[in-house]
Amino acid sequence: MIEDRTYPVTPPSMTVKCGIITGEVVDLKVTERVEQGTDRVVSPARLTGTLRLENTSANRTVRLVEGKLLFMDAHGQVIKLEGARTESIVRFTPYGDERLDPGQDATRVLDVEFPVEALKAERLKEIRLELAYIPSPFREEVVNFVVSIGAGQ
């Protein structure tokens, strides 16, 4: 029988600020699947939660490229993923979904690989979010064009 083993992340939510982007990460938890009785790991640990980002600029549009999560130990060193596990990347797609005009926000479900080493007591100190985005000027302009309506037929 397979069961989920869940590890709470404390605090489970926090605010984030990166340049003109602010937001929050909420409902963080780590889950791994284990075989009941033997504690053999069937599916390695994953970090899940929700990432909400908002463009706080009054005049710049932001194109979100990607976010990279790094897991840091007490010495400021990255805790690496083991084996062939892939980097913990948050992608902002499909097309058009990655653009944030001033005041707009976007929400992404987090579901990324989590290093087994970070599950050990006192090993994980912080989670770092490296956010890549492209800001560009945002302008709205008005164009008027003169028209008239002819007689109905």
Helix (H, G, I), strand (E, B) or coil at 59: coil
Mean pLDDT estimate for the chain:
88
Answer yes or no: is 67 within a domain.
yes
Residue 94 has pLDDT above 70, yes or no: no
Answer yes or no: is 142 within a domain.
no
Residue 22 has pLDDT above 90, yes or no: yes
Answer yes or no: is 90 within a domain.
yes
Domain total for the chain?
1
Answer yes or no: is 19 within a domain.
yes
The mean pLDDT of 91-101, rounded to a whole number, is 72
Query: Does 73 or 138 have the greater pLDDT score?
Result: 73
Residue 95 has pLDDT above 70, yes or no: no
- Average the pLDDT over each of 38-52, 73-87, 89-103 and give the range with the smallest value: 89-103
- Average the pLDDT over each of 62-71, 81-90, 105-114 and give the range with the smallest value: 81-90
Answer yes or no: is 147 within a domain.
no
Residue 92 has pLDDT above 80, yes or no: no
- How far is 68 from 66, CA to CA, in rounded Å? 7
- For 121-145, the pLDDT digits (tens) are 789 999 999 998 989 887 777 888 8
- How far is 13 from 27, CA to CA, in rounded Å? 6
The mean pLDDT of 41-65, rounded to a whole number, is 92
CB atoms within 10 A of CB 14: 12
Longest dimension (CA), the chain: 86
**Reported confidence tier of residue 96, pLDDT bands at 50, 70, 90:** low
Q: Which of 89, 80, 78 is nearest to 132 (CA)?
A: 89
Answer yes or no: is 152 within a domain.
no
Query: Does 93 or 3 have the greater pLDDT score?
Result: 3
Which range marks the domain in which residue 114 is found?
2-137
- What pTM, to 2 d.p., does this model score? 0.81
Domain CATH for 63: 2.60.40
- How far is 38 from 72, CA to CA, in rounded Å? 30
Answer yes or no: is 146 within a domain.
no
Contact 32, 41 (CB under 8 A): yes
Answer yes or no: is 85 within a domain.
yes
Residue 25 has pLDDT above 90, yes or no: yes
The whole-number pLDDT of residue 56 equals 95
